[in-house]
A and B are shown apart, each in its own frame.
Chain A
Amino acid sequence: MSAAGAWRERAGNAALALALPVTLLAAWEALGAAGALRPAFFPRPSALAGHAAALLADGSLAAHSRATLGRLAWAFALAAIPGVTVGLAMGLSRRAREGLDPLFALIYPIPSVLFLPLLSFVLRAEGAALVVTAAITSFFLVVYTTMTGVQQIDRTVLEAAVHYGARGRRLFLSVLLPGALPHVFTGLRLGLGYTLIVVVAVEIAGAQRGLGALLWLSWEILKVDDMYVALAAIAVLGGVLMWALGALRARAIPWAREAGDAGGRSAGRGAA
């Protein structure tokens, strides 16, 4: 594909990605203006934008967002750091894999929100139970994708590395770790999304602050405009974080392209 053709295709995709939500919002606005939607449940987007601006101005939206972001950061770190470590161990060592897998297979399918009551007894520190609950499922996602990442490394590449003298720590740093990284990033991406989902869910159940709490409390007293703003804020937060992780991936592993990304793939073609 020519560079101009590739650029045009990407521009077209970006336009489509933008057009879809804009069309939905415009339809919502139009239906609201025509009186087809009850404002008590479905306030118009233009009205909600004004309300969001007010919540931003008085600092309450920022406070709730900070609370959610703080929990998210702790929970994600708690899932990602031990998750990658354990996943690498399970990928490298058959003993770790076969020793841990049965236990993990039992815990992983349990909806992690169900751990909240139990953890609230054990972890008395303020907010600790929420954070740990939100980390559980993501931890397993990161573990299993990282493990697969190590296991799928091309055998002949590994063999070549050993033949060219890489052993122990050098083999780990120059082959096993980079070879697993694309899968690790997939795991982190899944884990980040899942952590956000569970953080918001547990905020509904057990917090006074945070976007989940704002959403739920405002729903209970039928302040639907607060509820919609909370919903939008969660969406934006998730979108921005996913984008940031994607950017980090592109920087960390420039040699691994996303599936379907054809740009630059055949730079050297024809020069053989």
Chain B
Amino acid sequence: MTAPARPVKVAIRDLSVSYAARGERLLALDRISLDVPAGEFCCLVGPSGCGKSSLLRVLAGLVSQDSGEAEVRAGSPGHPPTAMVFQDHALLPWRTVLDNVAFGPENRGVPRAEREAHAREMLALVGLTRFAQAYPHQLSGGMKQRVGIARALANDPEVLLMDEPLAALDAQTRTLIQEELLRIWTDLGKTVLYVTHSIEEALLLGDRVVLLTSRPGRVKRIFPVGLGRPRGLEARASPAFGALTETIWGELREEVLRATAAERPEPRP
């Protein structure tokens, strides 16, 4: 890594997570350690079922670990440690877009005028100002996920957790939202942990790509992405991009084959 060293925002030490599946305990993560510096865009890649989602869910407080630590170091008081963008957006269907975005602050007791003003700013950031009063079912998949991103940003977390947020979208929409996401990340300087199954996406977005092994997940290798930003079409066509893709795929492939050989069902901790 290049100097100056930024303070560590997410510190994961010997973290093990298991979950119950058909009466037995399956180990999803096996003594994982990882430090994410403040402001980094960190991408997690690994075969299906390697526990990359489990890692986010522990940080989000949705499941608890068997052992080890997953700490989000607070910068300023009053911020929630994490805010998650879910793969299937998970918006509340009975709330308008604005009320969905303001949901986190509302639960923390932020006065209405203040939280709505903030929510409108976040909606402007994702280009959905006009849809503040719409209900989620009136939006397209890409727009729903933009609302999911705005909801997470409105919570003003220390760390943004993104669990394959664009996996369900078509390629064009995905590309557009990736660009928006990078713009927002550049503006706000948030620390991001981003789970994806796409190496290309990881290389377009990430400062580093963390490759996990097949289950139980361990850190197999960490790839610094030395590509400049912004990474447009030229970056994608560059030799460095291609070489990195090949290297990562070479290692990921082994894990995917191992995971397929194990023939276990997809975990859902």
Q: Which A positions have Cβ atoms within 8 angstroms of B?
A: 154, 156-157, 159-167, 170, 174-175, 178-179, 181, 253-257, 264-272
Contact = CB atoms under 8 A, between A and B. Distances in A.
Contacts, number: 82
Given A159-B62, A267-B138, A268-B134, A256 B90 contact: no
Given A267-B139, A268-B140, 15 more contacts: A156-B86, A157-B90, A160-B84, A160-B91, A161-B103, A163-B61, A164-B151, A166-B107, A174-B92, A178-B92, A255-B136, A265-B138, A267-B134, A268-B139, A272-B169
Given A163-B60, A166-B107, A175 B92 contact: yes
A271 B88 CA distance: 19
A116 to B, nearest CB: 40
Contact of A272 (B61, B83, B138, B141): B141
B230 interface: no
Contact of B104 (A165, A178, A255): A165
Contact of B137 (A156, A162, A164, A265): A265
Grouping DSSP codes into helix (H, G, I), strand (E, B) and loop, the B interface class, with mixed when no group exceeds half, is loop
Given A256-B94, A272-B143, A164 B155 contact: yes
A268 B92 contact: no
A3 to B, nearest CB: 14
A156 B94 contact: no
A104 B81 CA distance: 46
Grouping DSSP codes into helix (H, G, I), strand (E, B) and loop, the A interface class, with mixed when no group exceeds half, is loop
A179 B93 CA distance: 8
B135 A254 contact: yes
A166 B134 CA distance: 22
Interface of B: 60-62, 80, 83-84, 86, 88, 90-95, 103-104, 107-108, 131, 134-143, 151, 155, 169, 173, 176
B152 to A, nearest CB: 9
Contact of A163 (B62, B108, B141): B62
Given A162-B62, A163-B60, A165-B108, A157 B138 contact: no
Nearest to A154: B90
A255 B103 contact: no
Instruction: Enumerate the 7 nearest inter-chain pairs by beta-carbon distance, A residue then B residue, closest first.
Output: A272-B142, A165-B107, A160-B90, A178-B94, A272-B140, A268-B139, A255-B135
Contacts of B93: 157, 255-256
A181 B95 CA distance: 13
Contacts of A266: 138, 140
A163 B57 CA distance: 10
A61 to B, nearest CB: 42
Nearest to A159: B62
A181 B138 CA distance: 19
A256 B93 CA distance: 8
Contacts of A257: 137
A174 B134 CA distance: 17
A154 to B, nearest CB: 7
B134 to A, nearest CB: 7
B107 A255 contact: no
B92 A272 contact: no
A52 B232 CA distance: 78
Contacts of A159: 62, 86, 90
A160 to B, nearest CB: 4
B150 to A, nearest CB: 12
A156 B88 contact: yes
Contacts of B131: 268
User: Considering residues B93, B95, B143, which has the most beta carbons from chain A within 10 angstroms of its beta carbon?
Assistant: B93
A155 to B, nearest CB: 9
Contacts of B134: 267-268
A123 B83 CA distance: 57
A166 B93 CA distance: 15
Contacts of A268: 131, 134, 138-140, 143
Contacts of A154: 90
A259 to B, nearest CB: 13
B107 A170 contact: yes
A270 B140 contact: yes
A270 B135 CA distance: 16
Given A164-B103, A164-B107, A157 B140 contact: no
A174 B137 CA distance: 17
B94 A161 contact: no
28 contacts: A157-B93, A159-B62, A159-B86, A159-B90, A160-B86, A161-B92, A163-B61, A163-B83, A164-B104, A164-B107, A164-B155, A165-B104, A165-B107, A165-B108, A166-B103, A167-B107, A174-B103, A255-B93, A255-B137, A257-B137, A264-B138, A265-B137, A265-B138, A267-B134, A267-B139, A269-B140, A272-B142, A272-B169
